[in-house]
Amino acid sequence: MKSFLQSVTLLSALICTSAKAFSQNDEVRYPYIKYIGIHAGTQGVGVSAFMPVNTALSVRTELSFLPFDIQVGKVYNGYNTKSDLSARFSNVHATLEWAPLHTHENIWKYLVASAGAGYFFKADGRINTRLADKYHYGEIVIDPAHLGTITTRVSWKNTIAPYLGGGLQHIEINPRFALGITIGSYYLKQPAVDITGTNLLVGNESNTPIVRENLKNYRFLPVFQLNFSHQIK
C-alpha cells in the first residue's frame, strides 16, 4: 500500500511538471508525435501505441505476452532434481511518460520517467520437478519417470499492478522510425501457490508454506525492454 501511495504521489508530480513544461515551449517537435511500435524484453513481446498529451507528457499503452521456458537442475533434500520452469505472462499496460529534458539538444532529451499500471489477464508460473537420477530401492532401479512429478503452480492472475520505470524513448533513427529502451518494475500482489505431487512424490504438497514464503518477495516484476516505433500521422 505504501508503495502504491508513493507511486500516486510521483505520478501527480509528473503531471504537474509536464503541464508547466508544455506551456513554456510548444514548438519542440519531441514528443508530440504519435507512434505505434513493437517491443521485446523481460515481460515478453508485444505491440505498443504512443500518444502525446503535451510537450513533455505522453501516454503509452502496450499489450505484452511472455512465454518463458527453462530447465534447471538443483538439489533438494539430498535429491538431484530437474525442474522445467515455465511462465506465461500477458498484460495490457498504460503509463504516463514524462520527458523532463525534452528541450535539450543532446541524448538526454529522450530521457523519460514512467508511471502507470498493468492488468495481468494471465500471470502464471509452473515448475515441474522430477528426480534427475534413477532411484534405487534395494536392488530395484526405478526410472525417474515412474517416480512422478511435483508440479508447483504460482499465479498472480487478474492482478492490476502499479508500474514505475524510466528510460530513453523515441531515439530517432530517421524521421519515421525511433528506438527506445526502458527499465522499470511492476508491483504485483502476493501470488497464489499450489503444489501437487504424483506417484511417489505425493505428499510433497506439505511444502506449500515453504514455497509461499520464498515467493513473498516475488512482487516486483522487473521490466527491461527495447522498442521500435513508427510514426503515424
Q: Which residues would be at the binding site for another protein (CB under 8 A)?
A: 74, 76-79, 81, 83, 125, 127, 129, 131, 135, 137-140, 142-143, 146-147, 150, 152, 154, 183, 185, 199-207, 210-211, 214-215, 217-220, 222, 224
DSSP 111-177: EEEEEEEEEEEEEEEEEEEEESS-EEETTEEE-HHHH--EEEEEE--SEEEEEEEEEEEEEESSSSE
Minimum CB distance to another protein, residue 220 (Å): 5
Q: What's CA 229's distance to the chain center, in Å?
A: 20
Q: Which residues contact 207 (CB under 8 A, 6 or more apart)?
A: 195
Candidates 117, 119, 126; CA nearest to 68 is: 126
- Closer CB to another protein, 137 or 233, in the complex: 137
Give 122 or 153: the residue with its C-beta nearer to another protein: 153
In angstroms, the CA 118 to CA 165 distance is 13
Helix (H) or strand (E) holding 12: helix 2-24
Q: Minimum Å distance from CB 105 to another protein?
A: 16
Nearer to another protein, 20 or 146 (CB): 146
Looking at beta carbons only, is 68 or 176 nearer to another protein?
A: 68
Q: What share of the chain is helix, strand, coil (3-state, %, to 5)?
A: 20, 60, 20
Q: Shortest gap between Cβ of 4 and another protein (angstroms)?
A: 17
DSSP symbol at 200: G
CB of residue 23 to another protein, shortest distance in Å: 28
CB of 146 to another protein, least distance (A): 5
Q: Distance (Å, rounded) from C-alpha 50 to C-alpha 30?
A: 12
Nearer to another protein, 8 or 202 (CB): 202
Min. distance of Cβ 40 from another protein in angstroms? 17
- The residue among 43 and 55 lying less far from another protein, judged by its C-beta, is 43
